């Protein structure tokens, strides 16, 4: 069989999946393959998939249909489906799309070079590698990076929370934290490579624990790294957001004034059914504690509407919580049943139309809150990191503020990749506009 020379990797899902793709790319490049700019040209096509909602999986099946035509034109090509959807329904994928050569779960990436070797041998058949490795954290694998200013560093993998709607614990396995020595080494390497910002990743970073090091201790430790400017992290579970963590966020100079704190619902009854482990009052109290200790905090969330049994009254509670908290931004989702989860066993009483109406209501409400938040920042001076030239025009740079707003900044290219002070001059309804502030 022809030797593989090039690969094309496309990724769906959350930051953890994109971060995994950097590891996979690193492995393939070290194995002698080079990235192709188009899937059509590549000897090996990989799709790193997400299984969190049905829509995400349907999209992948659509892509596999397209890749089938590429394989018909060049039969030597290999096609691999990796990541969370592969883990969830790998055997089904091999059956439904018999032109797929390999399904590989998120714990098996180390085996990739060996599996490719097997697939390029004589008379190969489809392969599946879907075992969980409870100790796998990939902490020794070097990722490739496209964005040199901001780097992801996974600090835990898997999830033990079993929110009743969520597939992640089933496809990512048990939660395991990365040794803090290794986290620190990885952060130092990224900083040496030019990163000014690091984003610590985990399904629930707040429950990070390795020996005596909890998440608060980890933040304090990383705050001491010279050359690093900004520390962010994703995702926080409200139940595990302790006072110790809030104190560490407030004390650590490099930890950005931003928190993504998914609430999902404002109704105690629904939160209970979701197995979220906190009440509306608890969530509101955490937000109050955060805002008291961290002035200027940017607060973002996830909202999930249409959970089985969510009544009009329950939905009203979500709307009222949003009005009370006034999030800066919210990722909003319509419930999608995931086979195998506890919620998927419940009967769905809401019609798709009703779920869509609710989704639309929270989207519109959030837009108005985002606009108000942007508007209230007018005239303020914020720290910003411009990372690229904006497509919108000459002399405009695009970046983020410490509080995680997107900002379009009127500034020269010499400001790219530097933390600057920006005066907010307006907004676009979704993003801030600004200019350089003196001093």
How would DSSP label each residue in 74-97? -TT-EEEEEEHHHHHHHHHHHHH-
Angstrom distance (rounded) from CA 426 to CA 437:
14
Assess 172 for contact with ligand F3S (CB under 6 A).
yes
Our measurement of the distance from residue 373's CA atom to the centroid of its chain's CA atoms, rounded to an integer in Å, reads 23
Residue 184 three-state SS:
helix
Within positions 103 to 142, which residues make up the interface with ligand SAH, using CB under 6 A? none
Assess 24 for contact with ligand F3S (CB under 6 A).
no
Within positions 235 to 254, which residues make up the interface with ligand SAH, using CB under 6 A? 235, 237
Angstrom distance (rounded) from CA 378 to CA 153:
33
Angstrom distance (rounded) from CA 359 to CA 239:
25
Within positions 414 to 433, which residues make up the interface with ligand F3S, using CB under 6 A? none
Nearer Cβ to ligand SAH (70/165): 165
Question: Tokens in use for 283?
Answer: 């969530």
Assess 321 for contact with ligand SF4 (CB under 6 A).
no
Annotated binding residue 50? yes
Angstrom distance (rounded) from CA 158 to CA 138:
13
Nearer Cβ to ligand SAH (141/342): 342
Nearest Cα to Cα of residue 380 among 292, 296, 263? 296
Annotated binding residue 166? yes
Question: Tokens in use for 195?
Answer: 């990163």
- Count of residues touching ligand SAH (by CB under 6 A): 17
β-bridge pairing 381-389 and 396-401:
antiparallel
Assess 204 for contact with ligand SF4 (CB under 6 A).
yes
Question: Tokens in use for 89?
Answer: 């329904």
Nearer Cβ to ligand F3S (139/184): 139
138 neighbors 23 (Cβ within 8 angstroms)? yes
Question: Tokens in use for 256?
Answer: 């950005």
What residues contact 270, with CB distance under 8 A and at least 6 apart?
264, 307, 309, 310, 314, 317, 318
Residues in a beta bridge with 388: 398
Hey, how many other C-beta atoms are within 10 angstroms of the C-beta on 58?
10
- Count of residues touching ligand F3S (by CB under 6 A): 12
From the list ligand SAH, ligand SF4, ligand F3S, none, pick the one residue 383 interacts with, judged by a Cβ distance below 5 to 8 Å according to partner type: none
Assess 161 for contact with ligand SF4 (CB under 6 A).
yes
Q: Is residue 393 classed exposed, middle or buried when 0-12, 13-18 and 19+ CB atoms within 10 A define those classes?
A: exposed
Instruction: Figure out which of the listed residues 45, 64, 86, 168 binds ligand SF4, where binding follows CB under 6 A.
Output: 168
CB of 18 to ligand F3S, least distance (A): 9
Annotated binding residue 163? yes
Instruction: Figure out which of the listed residues 19, 137, 156, 203 binds ligand SF4, where binding follows CB under 6 A.
Output: 203
Within positions 293 to 312, which residues make up the interface with ligand SAH, using CB under 6 A? 302, 304
From the list ligand F3S, ligand SAH, ligand SF4, none, pick the one residue 336 interacts with, judged by a Cβ distance below 5 to 8 Å according to partner type: ligand SAH
Contact map string, positions 137 to 176, toward ligand SAH, x by CB under 6 A: ----------------------------xx-x--------
Contact map string, positions 228 to 247, toward ligand SF4, x by CB under 6 A: ---------x----------
Angstrom distance (rounded) from CA 101 to CA 79:
5
Instruction: Figure out which of the listed residues 279, 336, 356, 406 binds ligand SAH, where binding follows CB under 6 A.
Output: 336
Within positions 182 to 221, which residues make up the interface with ligand SAH, using CB under 6 A? 203-204
Instruction: Figure out which of the listed residues 4, 7, 9, 16 binds ligand F3S, where binding follows CB under 6 A.
Output: 16
* Direct distance between the N- and C-terminal alpha carbons of the chain, in angstroms, rounded to an integer: 63
Annotated binding residue 159? yes
Which residues would be at the binding site for ligand F3S (CB under 6 A)? Answer: 13-14, 16-17, 50-52, 84, 167-168, 171-172
Binding residues for [4Fe-4S] cluster: 14, 50, 84, 159, 163, 166
């Amino acid at each position: 069989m022809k030797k593989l020379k090039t690969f094309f990797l496309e990724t769906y899902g959350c930051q953890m999946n994109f971060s995994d793709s950097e590891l996979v790319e690193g492995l393939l490049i070290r194995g002698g393959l080079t990235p192709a700019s188009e899937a059509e040209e590549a000897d090996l096509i990989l799709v790193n998939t997400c299984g969190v909602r049905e829509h995400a999986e349907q999209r992948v099946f659509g892509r596999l249909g397209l890749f089938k035509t590429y394989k018909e034109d060049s039969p030597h090509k290999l096609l691999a489906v990796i990541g969370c959807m592969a883990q969830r329904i790998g055997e089904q994928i091999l059956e439904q799309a018999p032109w797929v050569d390999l399904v590989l779960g998120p714990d098996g990436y180390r085996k990739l070079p060996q599996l490719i070797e097997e697939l390029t041998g004589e008379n190969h058949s489809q392969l599946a590698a879907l075992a969980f490795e409870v100790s796998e954290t990939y902490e020794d694998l070097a990722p490739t990076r496209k964005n040199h200013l901001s780097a992801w560093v996974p600090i835990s993998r898997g999830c033990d929370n079993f929110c009743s709607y969520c597939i992640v614990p089933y496809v990512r396995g048990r939660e395991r934290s990365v040794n803090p020595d290794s986290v620190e080494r990885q952060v130092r390497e990224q900083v040496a490579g030019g990163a000014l910002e690091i984003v610590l990743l985990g399904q629930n970073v707040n429950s990070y624990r390795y020996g005596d090091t909890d998440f608060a201790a980890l933040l304090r430790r990383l705050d001491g790294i010279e050359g690093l400017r900004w520390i962010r992290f994703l995702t926080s579970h409200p139940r595990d957001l302790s006072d110790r963590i809030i104190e560490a966020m407030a004390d650590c100079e490099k930890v950005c004034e931003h928190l993504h704190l998914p609430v999902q619902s404002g109704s105690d009854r629904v939160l209970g059914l979701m197995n979220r482990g906190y009440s509306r009052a608890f969530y509101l109290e955490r937000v109050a504690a955060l805002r008291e200790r961290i002035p200027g905090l940017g607060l973002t969330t996830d909202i999930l509407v249409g959970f089985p049994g969510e009544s009009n009254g329950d939905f009203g509670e979500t709307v009222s919580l949003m009005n009370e908290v006034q999030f800066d931004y919210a990722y909003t989702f319509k419930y999608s049943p995931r086979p195998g989860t506890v919620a998927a066993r419940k009967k769905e009483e809401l019609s798709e139309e009703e779920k869509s109406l609710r989704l639309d209501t929270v989207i519109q409400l959030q837009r108005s809150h985002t606009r108000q938040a942007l508007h209230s920042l007018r005239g303020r001076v914020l720290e910003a990191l411009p990372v690229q030239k904006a497509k919108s025009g000459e002399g405009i740079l695009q970046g983020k503020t410490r509080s995680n707003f997107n900002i379009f900044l009127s500034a020269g290219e010499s400001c790219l990749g530097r933390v600057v002070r920006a005066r907010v001059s307006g907004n676009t309804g979704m993003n801030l506009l600004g200019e350089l502030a003196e001093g």
